Amino acid sequence: MEYLITALKLIVGLSLLNVWLLQRDKNTKWRGGNATTLSEEFKVYGLSPYMFKIVGGLKIILAIGLLLSIYYTSIASICAIGLAILLTGSIAMHLKIKDPLFKSFPAALFLTLCLIIALS
């Protein structure tokens, strides 16, 4: 079970870092509304540039924390729960603007993985 949880931490942590550090200015089919970048996506949701920075900073910090929790296990639950809260917000934003459900899939998947990590 320990190997599975480690794998989930790697998947979630590296995936979120990829989205927020490498893919944030790239168009994907998962973007909310007709947004082509993460910052545009926040505008579509009616959120300010300040919220973009706060949410992005928190996701990056918590994703790094989740990776560090492979060695420092005491921080795993805090990081996973923090990410789960933010991912719930992501799903809520997709629902708010009436996106097709498939656009919520990555957030829902990572939310599920974070809950598994937090409960392990």
**Is the CB of residue 88 less than 8 Å from the CB of residue 34?**
no
91 vs 76: CA distance, rounded Å: 22
78 vs 100: CA distance, rounded Å: 31
CA 120, distance to chain mean position in Å, is 19
The whole-number pLDDT of residue 87 equals 98
115 vs 110: CA distance, rounded Å: 9
**Is the CB of residue 80 less than 8 Å from the CB of residue 115?**
yes
The whole-number pLDDT of residue 17 equals 98
60 vs 17: CA distance, rounded Å: 6
Q: Which residues contact 17 (CB under 8 A, 6 or more apart)?
A: 60, 63, 64
The whole-number pLDDT of residue 73 equals 95
Task: Please state the domain count of the chain.
Answer: 1
The whole-number pLDDT of residue 32 equals 95
* Assigned token pair, 105: 């899939």
Range of the domain at 10: 1-119
**Is the CB of residue 9 less than 8 Å from the CB of residue 69?**
yes
Task: Scan for tokens 């790094």, then name that residue.
Answer: 64
Local confidence pLDDT in tens for the 120 residues of the chain: 999 999 999 999 999 999 999 999 999 999 999 999 999 999 999 999 999 999 999 999 999 999 999 999 999 999 999 999 999 999 999 999 999 999 999 999 999 999 999 999
The whole-number pLDDT of residue 51 equals 97
The whole-number pLDDT of residue 15 equals 98
